[in-house]
Structure 1
Amino acid sequence: MGLDPGSKQIGVALSDTALMLASPLTVLARGKMKQMVPQFQTLCRKHEIGGIVVGLPLSLDGSFGPAARAASDWANDLSERLGLPACLWDERLSSSAVNRFLVQEADMTRKRRGEVVDKMAAAYMLQGWLDATAA
């Protein structure tokens, strides 16, 4: 399961069982971890999740700043609470790439993009991890 945590929402994506293709699933409203864990537990049971890949917002120069530290801490906390392995994956510019695609290729309105960009960014990030680990 790929997660792209933002300040207000968390994009969620899944891979197929062959670990080849990522697909956007949903967007969850961001809240306190204690309140969100049941939602993640439900998703993990329903989709038989074996691990999580969390987007790591590195700085543009690749450095590990405050946002990356917060994402790392969040991923570790979620991993412990779910009892699942977690890894971090560079998600720099994933939302920008998705927005560019939605404007240029899908000709999507700003309102509609706002509804799908987080889950598509999660899928974009997860696909990057799937491609890198398949090699």
Structure 2
Amino acid sequence: MWQRGVRLGVDVGKVRIGVARCDPDGILATPLSTINRDNSGTKDVPADMVELARLVAEHDSVEVVLGLPVNLAGQEGPAAVHVREYAQRLAEVITPVPVVLTDERMSTVVASRRLSERGMRAKKQRTVIDQMAAVEILQHWLDAKRAR
């Protein structure tokens, strides 16, 4: 059953993390922020997870949707293993808010294409591409849930 509330979409990269959010009715995903990956912070919690936890609390999020990078054949490689580990650790940090994984195949490519179609040059895209990939991840997940 669908629980009304804000969800955060997250695109975990090696250098940056893109974050998007949706409205409480789960209709539209919008860009929220880009977080630099940072292993500083407290002894047990990296600074980027501290920031994600802050965003979860600030937006009263009911769920966090993380993109799982799989290849075009649908298989998981080293990047997927890394994201699964990240998701597990994040779930411990933001409990009781659940973390769900969703296929993020081609999300960055689609986001880059959309930005290019809007006339944004590749150099300028770097500042927002992670957020837009998070939007693609979350919107795809929301659309799939609504289709059920």
Match of 1:72 in 2: 84
CA distance in 1, matches of 2:84, 2:127: 25
How many correspondences in the alignment?
134
Q: Which residue is equivalent to 2:112?
A: 99
Structure 2 length as normaliser, TM-score? 0.86
Measured on the aligned residues, the alpha-carbon RMSD in Å equals: 1.1
Bigger shift: residues 105-114 or 5-14: 105-114
CA distance in 2: counterparts of 1:37 and 1:93, whole angstroms: 24
Point out where structure 1 has 5 or more consecutive residues left out of the alignment.
Answer: none
Q: Gaps spanning 5+ residues in structure 2: where?
A: 1-7, 40-44
1:20 equivalent in alignment to 2:32: no
After TM superposition, give the deviation of residue 34 of structure 1 in Å: 2.4
Contact kept? 2:53, 2:93, Cα under 8 Å: no
Q: Deviations over 1:36-71 (max 9, x none)?
A: 232122211211111100010001210121111110
Q: When the two structures are superposed, what TM-score results if normalisation uses the length of structure 1?
A: 0.94
In structure 1, what is the equivalent of residue 42 of structure 2? none
1:17 CA displacement:
0.3
Q: Describe how 1:31-110 pairs up with structure 2 within 5 A.
A: 31-32=38-39, 33-83=45-95, 84-103=97-116, 105-110=117-122
Quick one: higher RCO (CA 8 Å, sep 6+), 1 or 2?
A: 1
Where 2:100 maps in the other structure, the secondary structure is: strand
Match of 1:30 in 2: 37
